[in-house]
Amino acid sequence: MTKKAAPKVGRHVLWFSWKLVTFFCIAFSLVALFRLHLRYDISSSAVSRTRSRIHYDGPAKIAFLFLARRELPLDFLWGSFFEIADVENFSIFIHSAPGFVFDELTTRSKFFYGRQLSNSIQVAWGESSMIAAERLLLEAALEDPANQRFVLLSDSCVPIYNFSYVYKYLMASPRSFVDSFLDRKESRYNPKMSPTIPKGKWRKGSQWITLIRRHAEVIVDDEIIFPVFKKCCKVCNLFLDQTRNHSYKLQKQHNCIPDEHYVQTLLAMSELEGELERRTLTYTLWNLSTTGNQNWHPLTFSYANAGPQQIKEIKSINHVYYETEFRTEWCRSNSIIVPCFLFARKFSRGAAMRLLMKRNTTASKEQVHKKYD
């Protein structure tokens, strides 16, 4: 009797063990699926929801976010820009080289004193550190609930309108201004990004963006797309072989230049493109004379080519044509056709000085007219 019962007990133990293993496998799969679902819910993280619940009724601010190599060479022009603004309507944040401090010894404008980030990082062109610095700027600016618009600027950017005009322009629109398009001619998309980033959501555009608060939160709270860029976007070493053909092959190896793709792709994946004005507010003069395998490069404005006529021409632009999408983007703010650009780059000190002199001359004439009217 005992010898016959043993196989039954063995089968029972085996069946119970198999059932236990199956249960744990199913439970593990469900937990993994749940964690994956939470991970891919890009735009609704707990931090973002907490910030979004903050109700703010005071004066809305524009956060000016400067991405600088070290100092701000055009601080004298920006100082003049902020001088006539209400301090309740703007805030300033600077990402500079780690350890660099803005004080009376390093800047000519009091508006930049102590405005540097304490947690800045070393930034390299063409690497993910560039967008990491942008995210640090946005994170710092989001701490103040009054900041409702976020303008990313380089250390060579200049304002081409006064503060009052810029403020009204941005606050009149409920949208972010993000240059974003699908470039079918480029080969920067790395297939290794799939399936996290599908090729159909890959976007390109200018680094210089202006965001509403909710979109800034999406970027800061992202824990999915940024790591993929960090892993897959590497700077190619073009000095391994001096032959032109090999150099060209290396250029094709998915150096995706994160700052031209990250924000655009993230917002596209977050299904937020319908909330964008898909254009930048920062004008760039491109060198279109390059041929062959070379890319276009931005030209620097000097004293000679930053005169009233050149600035007037920039201000007169009211649409942008995107050749790869056969799309004309008419420049609107709250559905009204407006000038496309509020800022411009890349300006030398001489060019910025000429712009400042012109602005001061115009202001003086206006004061004279007011005095005798």
Determine contact, residues 158/80, Cβ cutoff 8 Å. Answer: no
- The number of C-alpha atoms within 13 Å of 180 and in the hemisphere containing its C-beta is 24
| Pair of tokens at residue 350 | 């001489």
**What pLDDT, on the 0 to 100 scale, is given for residue 48?**
47
pLDDT tens-digit readout, 144-178: 999 999 999 999 999 999 999 999 999 999 999 99
Which residues are CB-neighbours of 276 under 8 A, at least 6 positions away?
Answer: 175, 176, 177, 178, 180, 267
Q: What is the CA radius of gyration of the chain?
A: 26
Q: Which amino acid belongs to residue 118? A: S
**Burial environment of residue 69 by CB neighbours within 10 A (0 to 12, 13 to 18, 19 or more):** middle
Residue that is written with structure tokens 């744990």 in the block: 24
Rounded alpha-carbon distances, angstroms, from residue 265 to 181, 204, 222: 9, 7, 12
Strands 286-287, 297-298: pairing is antiparallel
Virtual torsion, Cα 222, 227, 233, 239, nearest 10 deg: 130
Q: Which residues of the chain have pLDDT under 70?
A: 1-54, 235-255, 288-296, 361-373
| Pair of tokens at residue 151 | 């303008």
pTM listed for this prediction: 0.81
C-alpha torsion sign, points 125, 127, 131, 136: negative
Which residues are CB-neighbours of 80 under 8 A, at least 6 positions away?
Answer: 356, 359, 360
C-alpha torsion sign, points 139, 144, 145, 149: negative
**What pLDDT, on the 0 to 100 scale, is given for residue 243?**
44
Of 320, 63, 338, 38, which is closest to residue 215 (Cα–Cα)? 63
**What pLDDT, on the 0 to 100 scale, is given for residue 371?**
44
**What pLDDT, on the 0 to 100 scale, is given for residue 33?**
44
Residue that is written with structure tokens 């439970």 in the block: 27
Rounded alpha-carbon distances, angstroms, from residue 68 to 78, 124, 138, 226, 369: 14, 12, 15, 21, 39
| Angle 74-99-85 from CA coordinates, rounded to 5° | 35
**What pLDDT, on the 0 to 100 scale, is given for residue 19?**
63
pLDDT tens-digit readout, 217-255: 999 999 999 999 998 887 654 444 444 444 444 444 556
Which residues are CB-neighbours of 196 under 8 A, at least 6 positions away?
Answer: 224, 225, 228
**What pLDDT, on the 0 to 100 scale, is given for residue 154?**
97
**What pLDDT, on the 0 to 100 scale, is given for residue 18?**
65
Task: Report the alpha-carbon distance of residue 141 to residue 65 in Å, rounded.
Answer: 8
Task: Report the alpha-carbon distance of residue 239 to residue 31 in Å, rounded.
Answer: 48
List the strands of the sheet with 176-177, edge to edge. 90-95, 61-67, 147-154, 210-212, 176-177, 276-277
| Pair of tokens at residue 127 | 């690497």
For the chain, the first-to-last Cα distance in angstroms comes to 120
Of 254, 258, 244, 257, which is closest to residue 293 (Cα–Cα)? 244
Of 105, 94, 135, which is closest to residue 259 (Cα–Cα)? 135
